[in-house]
Structures are given as C-alpha cells and as structure tokens.
C-alpha cells in the first residue's frame, strides 16, 4: 500500500512563501498585532528600552504581543514563551521572526508594571467606544488565587525553635556518618566509598536550610507582632481555598452586567471581604471618571461584604447605589444552619438581638419575656469589628426560667447595639425591595461567570509573580486577557480589525 511521503530531512528546500501565509486571515493573532500597534506604549508609561552597545533592543510592542498571545494560550512562563517564539507559527508571525530570550521577556514584565496595568484600562476605553460597557449594574466578588509559596516554606514563631533543633540533629547525624566513612577508608585503603559525595551533598543542602531558618528567626526577633512568615512570597497570606488553607491572595473584581466584562480589579491580603467595600467603590468611581459615565450605578455585593461601618461610609456616595445582602438573612436562608445554631449555641432561636424590642422614649430594650435591658454607659464603646456601640444589660436574669436559652453570662443578658442602628435598619429594609432582590439574583451570573472562566477555562489558579505589587499587575493583566477573549468571541476578526482602525 502506498502512503503519503514526507520530505527527506537532509534534502535542501527553498521556501517560496512569505511569513504572512503562516497564519489564516481570520486568526486572532492578527487582532493582537493590530491592537498592540495601535497603542501608544510610551503614553501608557512603558519604559523605553535601554540601548546596549552593539545590541539594539526589542520594541516594547513585540514583547507585549508575546505576553498577550502566551496568556491567551495558557503559556505564562517566560521560558516557555521563549520556546514558542522559535517553534510556533503564530508566534513567529506575531514577532516577525524575532525570538527574545526568556530573561528579556521576564524583565519586560518586571520593568513595566504600571504600563501593563494601564493596558487593562486602555482596553476598557476601547470597549466603551464599541458600546460594550454600560456600568448601570455591576457586581463585586472575590476569589482566592494561590501564591508562589508552598506550605513547606511557611514558618511559625511557635515552632521555629523546634525546626532549628531538628536541623541541628540532622547535621550532627551527617557529620557522624562522614566520620564513620572516613574511619572505614582509613583502616582499608583499598575501599573507595562512593557514599561520601552523597552525604556531603545532603550536608550542604541542610546547612542552606539552616541559614534560611536562622534568617526567618531573625525576622521574628526584629518584629514582635510577626507570628507567621512566608519565605517564598512574604506578601502572601493564608487564604481559604476550596476547604483547604493555602498561601495566596484575595483577588477582587467588578463585573459589568451588559457583557460580563471585568471593569475593575484589586488584590488584597485579607482573608475576608469585610473591609473591601470602600476600596472597590473607589475603583468603580475611578472607572466611571475614566469612561466619562455620570449616571447612577447599582453596585451589587454578596453577604461577605456586609459591614455596618463600610455601609455607613458608602451608602451616600453620589452616582453609586450600594446593594449588599444581609449576612444574618443569608444565614437564615439555610435551614440546616439555623437548626444547628438553635440547638447548640446561646442565644438560641427566639432570643437573638433582633428579638429584643426598643423603647425609644425610655431608651431601654425589652426581651421576649418582658424584662428590661438598661444602657450600661453614657458614651459608646467599640466592639471587635470597630463599630461604635452602646451596651444594654438585664438586671433580672437570675430568676428567669429561659435563661439557659438566652445567655451564659453570670451578670445577665447583654446586647450591643450599633450607634448607627437606625440608619442600618433603614438600609436593610430598603434591600428588601423587589428591584434590589432581582439585582441580587443576577449577581452570580454577572461576576461568578468571569471567575469561572479565569480559573477553570484559562487555568489562572495560581500567580507566576511574587509580591503584592507584582501580583496586582499580573491579576490586572489576567483580567485584560479575559476581556480581550470576550471581545474575540463576540466579533469576527474582520470586524475587530476595522474597529481598531476606527476607535483605537
């Protein structure tokens, strides 16, 4: 049987086609090329490449194209991108045959953090000119993305001495093993023990670890408030990730309802979202200013963002309407949690703070059984979350037959009431409107869809960079790539090329 035959590898071949024929006319790499060439990278604060003697630098445009293509194709390592420049037809077309080494590619990302962040903002302007954004309703949410810091590179103050002791014992064991091998060879000159180099290599590695641990202990000694140190990425923190606790970052994103595009980003070291409302509202206002949008924007958040302090600070923002789920109401919607709470926790169901009625004229609270709770101090104090609160306490709990369901405090039941309770109660009531409930129902599809795409489809489950500022830059670029891919899926290459010529 005859088969198709390839070309002999030692046969000389004369290629008679140009580089432009390497990719199809409708390939998305043509959009990457056209868009990057339309940008003024110097205006976007990219650094002008340094001219080395006899070696002309690569254009910033070429290196930016490499990164955009790599992130779209799930290739983020500078070493892998270097290989793609040599063997990938689309990359060869994109770079016009240039192949920067991995160090040049990595340094471009390191030296142009602000410029890369501005690419995200510039693409939003392009999308706005194409009428892809509305900012009438946006949703804010967060997710955890792992840091470049394994669990073996995390040290605690409470265990550092124990680790140092283990390392010292291991060093002593290796030294004893070397002495034994030396004695064995000294008694029999014909023996050439091959184990000595192996032991020496292990000893070298363990001494490196000893130096590393001593450096960590020095940091603990200098900073009394430091209890945990992440050696690979010191800016990372413990984050909950699918039931596991890992070193990572809490990334924030704002999704626009119209086309599910990401319009603002932030990266936090905090393990929760209780303090993230204010910075995210500021980000949304900044985007609206950049896009010259003046109409009111509904900002929808889940119960993780519910903080009385944050709500009070932001509820009267001009052109911003905060819509956030009540954390307690969200917990109540879960019947199983409610049952567990009522059985195992004091106060039980029916004796929580919302079950106490306030008498404004007498400035007292009345418990479900009719007992009075009086204010304990004239001036407000602060609770653990930083709220200003008044404390009200009952003086007649000792004879109450329901006390075991209400409190374990020997002094009697006490409740702490926020100084802003009236304002917060009004806010909670406003959240119950049909309009706000419909917006809350849309929240997941607006912002959780982008997170799913970023982590599942695009594989962005961990950061390549280390350090908070570098991670912020990388996440901004990830979201730019997500938006870029959304646009590629929405329009033909021909249409996008025309739009770039018209708008960019």
Residues 271-299 have pLDDT tens digits of 999 999 999 999 999 999 999 999 999 99
Assess contact for 127 and 490: CB atoms under 8 A. no
Residues 305-310, mean pLDDT to the nearest whole number: 90
User: Token digits for 102?
Assistant: 């991995």
Helix, strand, coil shares of the chain, percent, nearest 5, are 50, 15, 35
Per-residue pLDDT band for 482 (boundaries 50, 70, 90) equals very high
Percent of residues, the chain, with pLDDT higher than 70: 92
CA-to-CA distance for 24 and 31, rounded, in angstroms? 12
Write the CA distances from 342 to 345, 413, 449, integer angstroms: 6, 17, 35
pLDDT at 337: 47
CA-to-CA distance for 62 and 85, rounded, in angstroms? 11
**Per-residue model confidence as pLDDT tens digits over 161-192:** 899 999 999 999 888 888 887 787 666 655 55
CA-to-CA distance for 97 and 199, rounded, in angstroms? 48
Whether 92 shows a pLDDT value over 60: the answer reads: yes
Whether 328 shows a pLDDT value over 70: the answer reads: no
**Per-residue model confidence as pLDDT tens digits over 386-397:** 788 999 999 888
Contacts 24+ apart (CB under 8 A), 186-195: none
Query: Which of 69-73, 306-310, 419-423 shows the lowest mean pLDDT across its residues?
Result: 419-423
Assess contact for 148 and 233: CB atoms under 8 A. yes
Annotate 335-387 with three-state secondary structure.
HHHHHHHHHHCCCCCCCCHHHCEEECCCCEEECCCCCEEEECCCCCEECCCCC
The larger pLDDT score, comparing residue 225 to residue 72, is at 72
pLDDT at 181: 79
Whether 339 shows a pLDDT value over 70: the answer reads: no
Q: State the alpha helices, DSSP H only, in 188-321.
A: 195-222, 277-291, 308-314
Tell me how crowded residue 488 is: count the other CB atoms within 10 A of its CB: 15
Per-residue pLDDT band for 327 (boundaries 50, 70, 90) equals confident
The model's pTM: 0.86
Whether 340 shows a pLDDT value over 50: the answer reads: no
Per-residue pLDDT band for 335 (boundaries 50, 70, 90) equals very low
The larger pLDDT score, comparing residue 428 to residue 482, is at 482
CA-to-CA distance for 167 and 155, rounded, in angstroms? 14
Per-residue pLDDT band for 401 (boundaries 50, 70, 90) equals confident
Residues 320-349, mean pLDDT to the nearest whole number: 67
Per-residue pLDDT band for 53 (boundaries 50, 70, 90) equals low
Tell me how crowded residue 112 is: count the other CB atoms within 10 A of its CB: 22
pLDDT at 435: 92
pLDDT at 3: 74
- Which of 112-116, 148-152, 213-217, 357-361 holds the top average pLDDT? 112-116
Residues 211-218, mean pLDDT to the nearest whole number: 90
Residue that the structure tokens 């799913």 belong to: 452
Residues 203-215, mean pLDDT to the nearest whole number: 91
**What b-and-e string marks burial along 406-428, b requiring 16 or more CB atoms within 10 Å of the CB?**
bbeeeebbebbbbbbeeebeebe
Across the chain, mean pLDDT equals: 89
Per-residue pLDDT band for 1 (boundaries 50, 70, 90) equals low
Percent of residues, the chain, with pLDDT higher than 90: 61
Per-residue pLDDT band for 15 (boundaries 50, 70, 90) equals low
């Amino acid at each position: 049987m005859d088969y198709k035959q390839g070309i002999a590898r030692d046969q000389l071949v004369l290629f008679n086609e140009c580089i432009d024929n390497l990719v199809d006319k409708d390939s998305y790499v043509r959009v990457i090329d056209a868009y990057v060439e339309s940008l003024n990278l110097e205006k976007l604060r990219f650094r002008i490449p340094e001219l080395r003697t006899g070696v002309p630098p690569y254009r910033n445009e070429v290196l930016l194209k490499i990164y955009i293509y790599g992130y779209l194709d799930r290739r983020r390592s500078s070493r892998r991108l270097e290989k793609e420049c040599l063997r990938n037809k689309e990359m060869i077309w994109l770079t016009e045959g240039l192949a920067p080494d991995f160090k040049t590619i990595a340094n471009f990302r390191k030296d142009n953090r602000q410029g890369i962040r501005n690419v995200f903002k510039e693409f939003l302007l392009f999308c706005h000119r194409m009428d892809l954004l509305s900012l009438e309703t946006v949703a804010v949410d967060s997710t955890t993305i792992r840091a470049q810091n394994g669990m073996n590179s995390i040290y605690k103050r409470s265990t550092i001495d124990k680790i140092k002791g283990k390392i010292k014992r291991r060093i002593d064991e290796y030294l004893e093993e070397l002495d034994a091998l030396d004695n064995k060879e000294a008694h029999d000159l014909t023996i050439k023990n091959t184990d000595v180099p192996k032991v020496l290599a292990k000893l070298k590695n363990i001494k490196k670890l000893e130096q590393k641990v001593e450096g960590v202990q020095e940091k603990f000694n200098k900073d009394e408030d430091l209890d945990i140190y992440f050696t690979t990425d010191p800016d990372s923190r413990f984050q909950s990730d699918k039931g596991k606790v890992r070193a990572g970052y809490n990334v924030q994103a704002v999704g626009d309802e119209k086309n599910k595009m990401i319009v603002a980003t932030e990266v936090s070291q905090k393990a929760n979202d209780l303090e993230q409302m204010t910075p995210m509202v500021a980000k949304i206002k900044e985007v609206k200013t950049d896009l010259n949008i003046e109409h009111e924007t509904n900002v929808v958040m889940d119960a993780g963002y519910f903080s009385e302090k944050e709500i009070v600070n932001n509820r009267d923002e001009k052109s911003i309407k905060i819509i956030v789920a009540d954390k307690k109401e969200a917990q109540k919607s879960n019947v199983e949690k409610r049952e567990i709470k009522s059985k195992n926790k004091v106060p039980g169901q029916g004796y929580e703070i919302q079950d106490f009625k306030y008498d404004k004229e007498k400035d007292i609270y009345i418990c479900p059984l009719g007992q009075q709770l009086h204010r304990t101090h004239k001036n407000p104090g602060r609770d653990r979350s930083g709220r200003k609160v008044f404390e009200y306490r009952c003086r007649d709990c000792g004879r109450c037959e329901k006390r075991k369901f209400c409190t374990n405090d020997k002094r009697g039941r006490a409740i702490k009431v926020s100084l802003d309770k009236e304002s917060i109660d009004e806010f909670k009531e406003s959240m119950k409107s049909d309009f706000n409930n419909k917006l809350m129902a849309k929240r997941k599809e607006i912002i959780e869809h982008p997170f799913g795409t970023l982590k599942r489809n695009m594989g962005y489950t961990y950061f390549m960079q280390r350090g908070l500022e570098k991670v912020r830059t990388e996440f901004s670029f990830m979201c730019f790539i997500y938006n870029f891919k959304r646009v590629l899926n929405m329009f033909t290459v021909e249409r996008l090329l025309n739009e770039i010529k018209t708008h960019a």
